[in-house]
């Protein structure tokens, strides 16, 4: 089973993808995570992406398309994957179609997590991640059971993203509405777009998704 999760920054794509990954044994492919790994490693791709990401802009389609195409070819994607943060532009959506056709793969569901923009600033500025296992948390909305200790791996170190600040959120939301939201119409026309109410509690959103996917 192959899924695409759509929604603006802070909608809950990463949070829900981690849960779908566990429940259905399909792998989360986050282009944001891949780019952050490239930045951390200091690779050519990372050097090209760093400043754009910090400013809340979009990295060039060519780089992203090449990155995701080779990632999908890896063995761990055979069972299925969840695209989180890709496609983000119409050229990326079109390139994905060509790529999947070539590889003989189909997307089963494109799911939009529907949220109010105004709530996304608080979600993003409170977001943090376990450095050990990548589990996602929030200062207010998703605290670990024991403060300072990761529920998943027991780790005690956490990181916050350089771009998760109030100034950048606005540019990222603008980029979403200008460049990413138009893809929703593209999928709607193709007939495989579904929506979930993303302002609901995290567990409730998970249930809605399980209802679509399971």
Contacts with ligand ADP, residue ranges (CB under 6 A): 7, 9-15, 31-32, 35, 52-53, 56-59, 64, 85-86, 88, 92, 123, 126-127, 136-138, 141-142, 172, 198, 201-202, 205
Among Zn ion, ligand ADP, none, partner that 1 touches (CB below 5 to 8 angstroms by kind): none
Among Zn ion, ligand ADP, none, partner that 153 touches (CB below 5 to 8 angstroms by kind): Zn ion
Query: What's the CA gap between 61 and 88, in Å, rounded?
Result: 9
Q: Tell me which of 71, 161, 188, 194 is the catalytic residue.
A: 161
The footprint of Zn ion on residues 151-170 (CB under 5 A) is 152-153, 155
Nearest alpha-carbon partner for 18 in 198, 193, 156, 209: 209
Does residue number 20 form part of the binding site for Zn ion (CB under 5 A)? Answer: no
**Do the Cβ atoms of 7 and 124 come closer than 8 Å?**
no
According to DSSP, the residues that pair with 50 across neighbouring strands are none
203-120-183 Cα angle (round to 5)? 90
Q: Based on CB atoms, which residue is closest to ligand ADP, 26 or 172?
A: 172
**Do the Cβ atoms of 36 and 89 come closer than 8 Å?**
no
Q: Tell me which of 19, 50, 88, 123 is the catalytic residue.
A: 88
Does residue number 149 form part of the binding site for Zn ion (CB under 5 A)? Answer: no
Query: What's the CA gap between 79 and 11, in Å, rounded?
Result: 25
Query: What's the CA gap between 136 and 200, in Å, rounded?
Result: 17
Q: Based on CB atoms, which residue is closest to ligand ADP, 101 or 170?
A: 170
Distance between start and end Cα atoms, the chain: 10
Q: Tell me, yes or no, if 36 is annotated catalytic.
A: no
**Do the Cβ atoms of 145 and 38 come closer than 8 Å?**
no
Q: Tell me, yes or no, if 160 is annotated catalytic.
A: no
Q: Based on CB atoms, which residue is closest to ligand ADP, 137 or 158?
A: 137
Does residue number 192 form part of the binding site for Zn ion (CB under 5 A)? Answer: no
Positions marked active-site: 13, 88, 127, 161, 172
């Amino acid at each position: 089973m192959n899924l695409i999760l759509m929604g603006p920054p802070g909608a809950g794509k990463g949070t829900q993808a981690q849960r779908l990954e566990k429940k259905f044994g399909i792998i989360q492919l986050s282009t944001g995570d891949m780019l952050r790994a490239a930045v951390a490693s200091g690779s050519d791709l990372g050097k090209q992406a760093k400043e754009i990401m910090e400013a809340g802009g979009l990295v060039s389609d060519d780089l992203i398309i090449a990155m995701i195409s080779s990632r999908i070819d890896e063995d761990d994607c055979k069972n299925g994957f969840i695209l989180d943060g890709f496609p983000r532009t119409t050229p990326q959506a079109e390139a994905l179609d060509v790529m999947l056709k070539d590889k003989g793969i189909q997307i089963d569901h494109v799911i939009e997590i529907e949220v109010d923009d105004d709530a996304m600033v608080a979600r993003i500025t409170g977001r943090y991640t376990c450095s050990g296992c990548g589990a996602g948390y929030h200062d207010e909305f998703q605290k670990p059971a024991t403060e300072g200790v990761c529920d998943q791996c027991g780790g005690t170190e956490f990181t916050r993203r350089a771009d998760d600040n109030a100034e950048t959120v606005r540019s990222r939301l603008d980029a979403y509405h200008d460049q990413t939201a138009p893809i929703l119409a593209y999928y709607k026309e193709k007939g495989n777009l579904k929506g979930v109410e993303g302002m609901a509690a995290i567990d409730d959103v998970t249930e809605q998704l399980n209802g679509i996917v399971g």
